[in-house]
Amino acid sequence: MRDQIILNNYDEMREWFKGKNVLLVSGRSLESFVTLKAELEDIKKKDAQIVRFDGFKPNPTYESVLDGLKVFKENGCDAIAAIGGGSAMDVAKCIKMFSNMDSSELYLNQKIVPNDIPFFAIPTTAGTGSEATRFAVIYYKGEKQSVVDESCIPDTVLFDPECLKNLPLYQKKATMLDALSHAIESYWNIKSNDESKEYARKAIEGVIKNMDGYLANSDEGIRGMIEAAFIAGKAINITQTTAGHAMCYKITTTFGVSHGHATMLCNRVLYPWMIENADKCKDTRGKEYLLKTFDDIGKALGADDALSGAKKLNDIFDKLDMEIPVATKEQYDLLKSSVNIDRLNDNPVTLDENTIDILYHKILR
């Protein structure tokens, strides 16, 4: 993975835009970022051509990417900027990847042809870490599609605390928990290595250190949380995620809770369960290695060992006052049959359908 350039202020952002013809991919949230919007309008007047594309919704579709690609090409754009959360990032990533591919065929069926189109990003949530990953998710005919290539990672990123100050409190909590889940799952992933574990450790410590300031809306706390989410993104860019994410998706659609909320509903239960069932370890590095990994996660959380770390994780969830949904028998049956087995392949402890059912009964009320 190539190094990314991190910008610190609007003057540096202006230098990036200067002389370029930029497709700006952003949702309606841009209207609420008064200072940033004014800066972009001034850049457009003096330093660069900027064409805005906002024709997409959460969980963006393949068709919306095609609409953005059309705007990119018709206006002769030579650079892309994305301002937003995961949806804006995913759309911008796909526009970049598809821009030099064969338009006469379905892009999703083609091999990605990497390109060097300059790509700038400003994340407006501290959670997905999409600005640091090679993954984009869009929907085609109602089905989720993952588009993956290193070339879609933004080469330049600006951390702007203003963009997170007006987020609803629930969204701030949930995205923060998503970042924490990314880091924890990356750390215990069977594909972890020294580099991914260092990113994951720093991200866990960053979330814990900045949590109070972030929720209190301090500039320092917000910036620290953006950085922690970014570093967690760098960790999962190497390893991807595990059972916490595999088990969370149907919780989101069934109970209407946000993604990050659902990931921590799962991980606060998975962590102590896996400690107690480490004899089912499937990491080739062995049970003792896995137990040390669980201890290291606990220490990164600010606890003494794995079990006290698991308790602290649950205490964090309780302190945030996040809802635990109530499930019916029919919903439990639906959940246990919905898990993405591919995501379970990277989990360090073996899970079967019966165990997954037991875990869901611990996760929900």
Q: pLDDT by residue (tens digit) across 216-230?
A: 999 999 999 999 999
As a whole number of angstroms, the distance between CA 268 and CA 264 comes to 6
Question: Which of 270, 293, 279 has its CA nearest to residue 344?
Answer: 270
Helix (H) or strand (E) holding 7: strand 5-7
């994410």: which residue's tokens? Answer: 245
Q: What is the pTM of this model?
A: 0.94
Tell me the pLDDT of the chain averaged across its residues. 96
Give the type of residue at 317: F
Residue 144, pLDDT score: 85
Task: Specify the range with the lowest mean pLDDT, choosing from 25-34, 41-50, 278-287, 304-313.
Answer: 25-34
For residue 249 the two structure tokens come to 């998706």
Output the pLDDT for position 143. Answer: 87
Alpha-carbon torsion (162, 168, 173, 174), positive or negative: negative
How confident is the model over 10-14, as a mean pLDDT? Answer: 97
pLDDT at 340 over 80: no
Share of the chain above pLDDT 70, in %: 99
Average pLDDT over residues 318-332: 96
By the 8 A CB rule, do 93 and 149 touch?
Answer: no
Residue 296 has pLDDT above 80, yes or no: yes
Q: Give the pairing type, strands 119-123 and 143-148.
A: unpaired
**CATH number 3.10.450.50 is the correct assignment for the domain at 168-363:** no
Name the residue among 364, 317, 1, 363 with its Cα closest to residue 151: 1
d(CA 224, CA 209): 8
Domains 5-163 and 168-363 share a fold: no
What pLDDT is recorded for position 218? 96
Residue 354 burial (C-beta neighbours within 10 Å; 0-12, 13-18, 19+): exposed
Domain ranges of the chain: 5-163, 168-363
pLDDT of 167 strictly over 60:
yes
Q: Which CATH class is domain 5-163?
A: alpha beta
Mean pLDDT confidence for 278-301: 98
pLDDT in tens, 229-250: 999 999 999 999 999 999 999 9
Residue 202 — pLDDT band, cuts 50, 70, 90? very high
How far is the CA of 234 from the CAs of 100, 104, 132, 240, 241, in angstroms? 26, 34, 5, 10, 12
CA 207, CA 225: separation in Å to the nearest integer? 6
pLDDT tier, 2 (very low <50, low <70, confident <90, very high otherwise): low
Give the closest residue to 197 by CA, choosing from 205, 187, 207: 187
Give residue 342's pLDDT: 73
Please report the pLDDT score of residue 1 as a whole number.
Answer: 55
Residue 293 pLDDT grade (very low, low, confident, very high; cuts 50, 70, 90): very high
**CA-CA distances (angstroms) from residue 6 to 16, 123, 128, 361?**
11, 12, 17, 43
pLDDT given at position 92 = 98
Q: Confidence class of residue 103 from pLDDT cuts 50, 70 and 90?
A: very high
Query: From residue 273, how far is each of 217, 310, 363 by CA, in Å?
Result: 34, 9, 11
